[in-house]
Amino acid sequence: MTRTFTIRQLTKELSVTSRTLRHYEDEGLLSPERRGQARIYHGRDRARLTLILRGRRVGFSLAEIREILDLYNAEDQGAAQLEYSRKKFVERIAILEKQKKDIDESVAELKLAVTRADNWLDEHKQLTHPQPRPKMSGYSVMPAGE
């Protein structure tokens, strides 16, 4: 069950443009098989692509993503290389954890704003909006300690 994909299939499935896929190929992030000129993407290409897209969503540059992928697919290298990879991975993890903290703080701030908006709207409701707004669930004020 070694499925293959055309470029069009992948673009639709993962909501990217073909230009983007070719760009990633130019950057060395993908290297699909060629049937003549046409690209044939295999399961592992698709897997790599989802990793790339997720990396992009969490704010990595293509260069960073490429580095990670390169380190990832280099289990055949010596102990020195592997130790280096390990170090890089740990660094990345630290960066991501920091980013999570930033996100938590942003979320806390936004939830606070939502709560404030709710309070204001409750106070000043002059029956402008007879429909009850969906009661906020989980938007309690939690001081962003630390």
Partner DNA sequence: TCATTCCTTGACGTGAACGTAAACGGGAGA
Partner DNA sequence: TCTCCCGTTTACGTTCACGTCAAGGAATGA
**Binding residues for a second copy (CB under 8 A):** 51, 54-55, 57-59, 68, 71-72, 75, 79, 82-83, 85-86, 89-90, 92-93, 96-97, 99-100, 102-107, 109-111, 113-114, 116-118, 120-121, 124-125, 128-129, 133
Reading across the β-sheet that carries 33-35, which strands appear in turn? 4-5, 38-42, 33-35
Residue linked to tokens 């954890």: 97
Beta carbon nearer to a second copy, 38 or 136:
136
Q: What distance in Å separates the CA atoms of residue 68 and residue 58, rounded to the nearest whole number?
A: 14
Beta carbon nearer to DNA, 64 or 118:
64
Residues that bind DNA in the complex, under the rule CB under 7 A: 6-9, 17-20, 22-23, 27, 36-39, 56, 61-63
Asked if 96 and 114 touch (Cβ cutoff 8 Å), the reply is no
Angle, CA of 72, 76 and 79, to the nearest 5°:
90
Beta carbon nearer to DNA, 34 or 135:
34
